[in-house]
Chains A and B, each alone.
Chain A
Amino acid sequence: MVPSGYLGLAHRGSGANAVGAGLVPGRAGGSTAVHVSGDREVRPRGFFAYRAAWAWCAAASLLALGVAAESSVLKAMKSELDRSMEVLGEQPVPPYFLSYEITETKRISAGAQYGALTYSRKNHARMLDIDLRVGDYALDNTRPLREQNSLSFLNINLVEAPVEDDADAIRALLWSETDKRYKRALEELTTVKTNVQVKVEAEDKAGDFSPEEPSESIEVERPIEADIAAWEHKVERYTEPFSRYGEFYDGRASFSATTETRWFVNSDGSRIQTSETLYRLFVSALTKADDGMELPLYQSYIALTPAGLPDDETVERDVAKMIDTLRALREAPLVEPYTGPAILAGEASGVFFHEILGHRLEGHRQKLEDEGQTFKKLLNERVLPENFSVHFDPTMTRHGGTDLVGTYRFDNQGIKARRVTVIDKGILKGFLLSRRPIDGFPNSNGHGRKQAGFRPVARQSNLIVEVTNPLTSEELKAKLLAAIEAEGKPFGLRFEAIQGGFTTTGRFMPNSFNVTPLVVYRVYPDGREELVRGVDLIGTPLTTFSRVAAGDDQIAVFNGTCGAESGGVPVSASSPSILVSQIEVQKKEKSQERPPLLPAPLGDDRLGFSIY
């Protein structure tokens, strides 16, 4: 069973339950992999809610000195790694590779709904991940078993590490976890060797692990710069306007400021200490049409520094716009299933590329025998128009005026981040690679990523769609109108805001994708636009890709969390608006629940705003 993707949808009813609700079970022993991306809201979980004013200031003095000191955590990890390799090296089946990664998360966060605070909290946790390999680079204990049911989800290992820099306690934990992992690796290797013998020869002949040069890099721990008391007031203020309406069944905002510090050592000699900050503000609201359809909308702001977040005025303006759009959506007409030309605005286009292209270029999917391997044999062939190029660039931190959250300096296997051009002038040039090699690509290109507790696989970073000689927005729309007329369609579509999407890349389920729009317009031959609701954008990858016709010069960025085998990782997708000569939409899943029977319990002075 392949663990499926989960994901974060922006509207209520999914948030806190996202993991449960979004889990799409794979067929037992089968080959379904589902990947979902979207903007994950940080929701109250009933824990850690505590109102207080504090801010992280650790490491501030170090910053002042401008000197990066190697943490005692890293030293303890290095000592225990050396000792483990030495002692286990004397065993009949010694490990040939060992790495330790400790991920520290410090976060402050606050949330409010309808103007009232629901939580405020501070977290500090550390998680330990161990990669221990027995066998050799060509064949080791991590090779996926073919056609064998396994409880692979039990490979998720959530191991809490001490939050104090106490070398003895850290080493005690590393010792006992290494021993467990070593014993499990021995069991796995035996199973893997048998599986290789009893199955047909694998198509992909590349080994299980790539030899790589070690890296050394020590970065200063970055402090969180946020005044939580101020943010408690801000989230209350931003959500207060939703409280004036009875027809909004959700109206919330959440803020979080996170520092993630990672310490990584491996038996190749790598010693890496990185520290990254992320600031997020997420505002979401939900209304319901009279036919039961839930209509969510959100506004997400993500930045690598506090300065990247918007000011109050901007947020309040966006909230007012959300309210107008939601109220308009309630009255908007439904669209029936349709095929025809459409414009995907930047964010929608970014997610479209993330789902149909990005996931299919992830290295391990070219080698797993139950994967669709859509693009594997298209290397050096044309897959897009000549003026389209696509890169994955974790070294970029900003594009089109927006911070990119898919940035990092080293991946979760200690490999330095680098730009990878996957489509150059329309020609497929490469794949995203972790240290699991594939035929023709013996080395990692720094895309081995994971959430703490998971095993890394090749994952996306910052997806950048580039169009040379772009059209202007007006020209793109003119081209859409021309296409509508040429095909004799009554209208075309324009997808604006989107919630996220998902795709299946396996062989058992149809190899398809679904992008879930929040705001869609019908575009008539005379250029008039009408807000509509009720459809999802669907399709199969190769067909849809061949219909990409043109792009404009307006770059937009979708920042979000992508969920797949190795957990949730931050990614971005940047793209201009694109014209697709033929897309297909299907009816959106719809709640059958009637709107509430009683009117909202609003004060009399506010009833005037309510539609009831």
Chain B
Amino acid sequence: MKRIAFTTPGIVLVLALLPTIAHGDEDALMQAMRAELARSVDDLQMEDMDKPYFVAYTITDTQRLTASASFGALLPSYESRARGLSVEVRVGDASFDNTNFRSMSAFSGFGGGTTLPLDDNVVEIRRQIWLATDAAYKDALQQLANKRAALQNETRVEDLADLAAQEPFTYVDEPNRNVPTLDDMKDLVRHLSGLFRDMPQIADSRVVAGVTYRRTYYVNSEGSSFIRTDPAASLTVRAQAQAEDGTILHDFVTTNGLVWDDVSASDALEAEVKAMGMAVSARVSAPKLDERYTGPVLFEGQAAAELFAQVFVPRLLGTRMPDTESQFSSFMSQSRNPFLDKLGARVLPRFLNLKDDPTLAGDGFVGGYGVDDEGVPASATSLVERGILKSLLTTRNPVQGIEASTGNRRGGGPVPSNLVMTTDRGMAREELLHEFKLLMAEREAEYGIVVRRLGNPLFRPSTGNNISINFGGPAQQQASVEPALLAYRVYADGREELLRTVELAAVTDSVFKEIIAVSDSPTTYTFTHSPASFGGLGTIIMIGASGFSSSLHAVSVSVPDLLFEEMSVRNPTGNLPHRPVAGHPFFEE
């Protein structure tokens, strides 16, 4: 049940006049934010300095449960509830303010202080908002001065505003706390991980379940406000084995939904996990490629969706490159998204269209929402029409060519919601396979490659090191694609042969222009989107395997099977680790 109302345009600031909501805690949080917002707008000013022209407060109240197990026994599980506050204060004006600037000078202020009481104690919540606002305002003044200083000897090439205009918008949805007990989750993860006691080839496995229930409260000085529910549930089962030659083989089953029932109630879950384990076991003795393969490759189901997610989706984000102190500018420019320069250019074949639609729900789509993190109402955005790039996904931080928000602010920047690829030329499966074989015949190839599952960056196999460091941001020309987990040689007579594991060489976004044909039956798949970049620095350090960050967002994609005319496929590069000296204690005895 959603109540959506537009406030009357022209009212810049709406304070306690808005109707109060019928929930005690929400009253307390909204009341505290509105009271401090009023003080910040009216009174916050350092002598001879600018007042804030924009202030926004966000409080998130998050309950999270995580359970995990390995080989039939529970690992530590967690249950938490916390309230966090974030404060946005802008000084200057919308055309030029303290944002979109990176300097090496560290943030100063009272620091931290963003943990709010769980009690609905309005005075104490206001105290924390007051302290955080004060620190943010002082920091904003300093940043604006630094930015002016850095730019005084430069002419800005891209003269973009710092904050896109937005009509005030009000949104409140109903709370719908639907959270399982930790014991329910423990029972399932223990049971699923116990299945691997029947699979002697699987050396390592882990099952992780997570449920999050979050309410987000937002007010800003333009009169927008919202209270939004963001439920999420996920279950991931991972397994890994090692081939005789040492190749590490892994796969996973992952399901995402809004509530626990979405991911746990499926009767097929156990069968899926078993099938995945069997497939990994089968690959232990499956053949490798004889040599590098170059030719037609058909991506089916999950593999098509993952390939699209890893190579194409990062390009769809309209992320602004901030101004910097001049010594860092060349560094920053390396991480510019090349699609910023491709608006109006061809990025997909003529028969494909692409849209982002946060209003979709059900049928496997879980990336939706009613309002984004800046209070911009959710709406569909047409990204690619007949192969031509029409728009990128943006926030209120404008980029060249797209000066309004598309309502995609989730966390620190733009994140897709539900991406839907459509076509007017989808082929039935038989037809697509026929096309595939024609391509093989043209090249007089003995066989072609079909990829049915592709790895995911969040579910890489564990190695001896517990810390992995990833270099490279989304803007690098050559995306790194995870290895194929299920790839087959398909011969002209239709015979299929499972391969141990293969990698895709040199995949770039431009390969998507060379899609020859697609199926008429899309696969809807949900993956977890990691932050696009941290200030354009493009370095992400991930620690541990079972960690969960609240800055990750579920994104659903609907993508048909994709037939590429030419791609290079090879055996994995790099040296192979030795197999364990001793056998697995459970299977050996």
Contact = CB atoms under 8 A, between A and B. Distances in A.
Interface in A159-184: 159-164, 166, 168-176, 178-180, 182-184
Contacts of A603: 123
User: Which of B44, B111, B116, B546 has the most CB atoms of chain A within a 10 A radius of its CB?
Assistant: B111
A91 to B, nearest CB: 6
Interface residues of A, number: 74
A44 B83 CA distance: 11
Interface string B92-118: 000000000000000011111101111
Nearest to B137: A597
A51 B118 contact: yes
Contacts of A184: 464
A122 to B, nearest CB: 8
A243 interface: yes
A13 B203 CA distance: 44
B79 interface: yes
Contacts of B286: none
Contacts of A160: 75-76, 546
B544 A13 contact: no
Contacts of B586: 168, 171-172
A243 B124 contact: yes
B467 A249 contact: no
B123 A601 contact: yes
A118 interface: yes
Interface stretch (A109-117, A135-143, A517-525, A555-563): A109-117
Interface in B123-162: 123-124, 126-127, 129-131, 134-135, 137-138
B466 interface: yes
Interface stretch (A82-90, A328-336, A396-404, A533-541): A82-90
A590 interface: no
Contacts, number: 185
B197 A113 contact: no
Given A171-B586, A597-B46, A602-B123, A46 B115 contact: yes
Nearest to B190: A164
Contacts of A87: 581-582
A78 to B, nearest CB: 13
A12 B73 CA distance: 39
Nearest to A52: B79
Nearest to A184: B464
A197 interface: no
A80 interface: yes
A597 B44 contact: yes
Interface stretch (B35-43, B301-309, B421-429, B503-511): B35-43
A593 B109 contact: yes
Contacts of B121: 115-116
Contact of B124 (A116, A126, A157): A116
Interface in B274-291: none
A171 B546 contact: no
B584 A175 contact: yes
B572 interface: no
Given A17-B111, A162-B75, A175 B117 contact: no
Interface in A441-455: none
A84 B582 contact: yes
A49 B81 contact: yes
A593 B464 CA distance: 45
B319 to A, nearest CB: 26
A173 B203 CA distance: 10
User: Which of B82, B112, B577, B582 has the most CB atoms of chain A within a 10 A radius of its CB?
Assistant: B582
A609 interface: no
A125 B577 CA distance: 30
A322 B365 CA distance: 55
A48 B71 CA distance: 25
Contacts of B165: none
B45 interface: yes
A205 interface: no
Chain B contact patch, size range = 35 or more
A169 B72 contact: yes
B469 to A, nearest CB: 10
A112 B117 contact: yes
B331 interface: no
Interface string B564-584: 000000000000011011101
A124 interface: yes
Contacts of B138: 593-594
A47 B585 contact: no
Contact of A117 (B46, B77, B119, B577): B119
User: Which of A118, A169, A594 has the most CB atoms of chain B within a 10 A radius of its CB?
Assistant: A169
Contacts of A198: none
Contacts of B578: 183
A314 interface: no
B74 A163 contact: yes
A49 B80 contact: yes
B204 interface: yes
Contacts of A15: 112
A47 to B, nearest CB: 4
A22 B108 CA distance: 16
Contacts of B126: 601
A162 B84 CA distance: 31
Contact of B119 (A116, A158, A161, A168): A116
B335 interface: no
A598 B118 contact: no
Contact of B80 (A46, A179, A602): A46
A116 to B, nearest CB: 3
Contact of B81 (A12, A50, A173): A50
B576 to A, nearest CB: 13
A592 B139 CA distance: 12
B327 interface: no
B79 A601 contact: no
A302 B497 CA distance: 66
Contact of A183 (B44, B108, B464): B464
Given A13-B110, A601-B130, A116 B84 contact: no
Contacts of B124: 113-116, 243
Contact of B73 (A114, A166, A602): A166
Contacts of B129: 601
B84 A13 contact: no
Contact of B117 (A113, A158, A164, A183): A113
Contact of B118 (A118, A172, A602): A118
A601 B76 contact: no
Nearest to B204: A176
A184 B35 CA distance: 59
Contacts of A593: 108-110, 135, 138
B466 A157 contact: yes
A558 B119 CA distance: 34
B466 A80 contact: no
B131 A596 contact: yes
Contacts of A178: 582
User: Which of A83, A593, A598 has the most CB atoms of chain B within a 10 A radius of its CB?
Assistant: A598
Contacts of A502: none
B546 A169 contact: no
B78 interface: yes
A288 to B, nearest CB: 9
A79 B586 CA distance: 12
A116 B117 contact: yes
Contacts of A279: none
B239 to A, nearest CB: 13
Contacts of A162: 69-71, 73-75
A163 B581 contact: no
B106 to A, nearest CB: 11
A121 interface: yes
10 contacts: A12-B112, A15-B112, A50-B81, A168-B73, A178-B582, A243-B124, A243-B127, A593-B110, A596-B134, A600-B127
**Nearest 3 interchain pairs by C-beta:** A116-B117, A169-B73, A166-B73
Interface of A: 12-13, 15-17, 44, 46-51, 79-80, 83-84, 87-88, 91, 112-126, 154, 157-164, 166, 168-176, 178-180, 182-184, 236, 243, 249-250, 591-594, 596-598, 600-603
